[in-house]
Amino acid sequence: MVAGLFVGYALLSQYSASSANPHARTLGAVLSIGPVLLIGLLMMWLWSWRAAALIGALLSAALLYLTWPFIESHYAWSDLAQQCGIYGLVALFFARSLFGSRVPVCAQLAHQMYGALTPDEIAYMRRATLAWAIFYCLLATAILVLFFVAPLRVWSVFANFVTWGLMVLAGFLDHALRRMVLPRHREGGILTLIRRALAT
């Protein structure tokens, strides 16, 4: 169901970016700010007083009403900020774990999947974490550059579809290299990690 929502969102976003239909711009604006607005309101509802959440919802509705023509005309900039922001934050998430006394993200995942790691494996996981940080940083940069040098429909194809293909390809490459570095771990892996998470 979650995968279906992502695919549906990507298809509708691509339609709004490439269609000449005047209603496509409205759809694009709704898709651009809708998820962010819903997440923000949900967080306010869960983490603050109900009255504050209701006031926030009313203020958001009033602000949308006043600024909707501008949002509708410039929704692509909101898409750009979201796409670059998401991948930039993921890159920062990986990179941040490499500094200080923190444990690299890949080492944390490998420890949960396989248990204690050898020094060579820990060193590999550090390099893998750095590689993922660079990958997501390059992905965010490519999205930013392509936004200014390519038509919006081409940028939308890259941001909504090509990026997922690149992430899957990078995941397969990482898995293949990890199988070479961690050949002794026949039991465990991502399925074991999922089972453990569901069991807790």
String of DSSP letters for 169-199: HHHHHHHHHHHHH-TT--S-SHHHHHHHHHH
Residues 6+ apart with CB under 8 A from 15: 24, 27
Q: Which pLDDT does position 135 carry in this prediction?
A: 96
Instruction: Tally Cβ neighbours within 10 Å of residue 114.
Output: 19
Q: Which pLDDT does position 129 carry in this prediction?
A: 94
Please, which pLDDT band fits residue 184 given cuts at 50, 70 and 90? low
Mean local confidence (pLDDT), 37-44: 73
The Cα 69–Cα 79 span in angstroms is 16
Please, which pLDDT band fits residue 189 given cuts at 50, 70 and 90? low
Q: Which pLDDT does position 93 carry in this prediction?
A: 94
pLDDT at 4 over 90: no
Q: Alpha carbon of 74 to those of 24, 79, 140, 168: distances in Å?
A: 13, 9, 20, 31
Least confident of 26-30, 63-67, 184-188: 184-188
Q: Which pLDDT does position 198 carry in this prediction?
A: 53
Q: Which pLDDT does position 100 carry in this prediction?
A: 86
Burial of 128 (0-12, 13-18, 19+ CB in 10 A): buried
The closest of 64, 172, 169, 183 to 118, measured between CA atoms, is 183
Q: Which pLDDT does position 199 carry in this prediction?
A: 56
pLDDT at 82 over 90: no
Q: What is the mean pLDDT of the chain?
A: 80
The Cα 64–Cα 98 span in angstroms is 41
Q: What is the pLDDT of residues 128-159, one digit of tens each?
A: 999 999 999 999 999 999 999 999 889 989 98
Q: Which pLDDT does position 78 carry in this prediction?
A: 84
Q: Which pLDDT does position 97 carry in this prediction?
A: 93
Q: What is the pLDDT of residues 6-38, one digit of tens each?
A: 677 676 777 677 765 666 677 777 777 777 777
For 99, phi then psi, to 5°, come to -105, 155
Please, which pLDDT band fits residue 121 given cuts at 50, 70 and 90? confident
